[in-house]
Amino acid sequence: MPHRAIVQCLLLGAAVLLAGCTAKSDPAMTDPLDALMHDYAGNGPGASVLVVRDGKAIERRSYGFADLEAKTPITPKTNFRLASISKQFNSAAILLLAQDGKLSIDDPIKRFLPTLPPEDDAITIRHLLTHTSGLIDYEDLMDPKDTAQIHDIGVLQLLEKAPKHYFVPGTSYRYSNSGYALLALIVERASGQRYADFLRTRIFEPLGMKHTVAYENGISTVANRAYGYTEENGKWTRTDQSTTSAVLGDGGIYSSIDDLARWDAALYDDRLLPQSVWKQAFTPATKTDDPTIEYGFGWRITGETLWHSGETVGFRNVIVRYPQRHLTVVVLTNRNEPEPYELAKKIAASYLD
Q: What backbone torsions phi and psi does residue 152 show, to the nearest 5 degrees?
A: -55, -40
CA 318 to mean position of chain CA atoms: 6
- CB environment 126-140: b (16+ within 10 A), e (fewer): bbbbbbbbbbbbbbe
295: closest CA among 313, 307, 312, 310?
A: 307
Inter-helix orientation angle 177-191/87-99, to 10°:
30
- CA 90 to CA 236: how far, in whole Å? 32
Instruction: Check whether the bond before 76 is cis (ω within 30° of 0).
Output: no
Distance CA 231, CA 250 (A): 25
Which residue in the list 84, 191, 245, 255 is annotated as catalytic? 84
Amino acid code (one letter) for 246: A
Residues 6 or more apart in contact with residue 122 via CB below 8 angstroms: 108, 168, 169, 170
- 64 φ/ψ angles, rounded to the nearest 5 degrees: 75, -160
178 is catalytic: no
What is the bridge-based pairing of β-strands 229-232 and 235-238? antiparallel
Q: Are strands 253-255 and 286-287 parallel, antiparallel or unpaired?
A: unpaired
Q: Which residues are catalytic?
A: 84
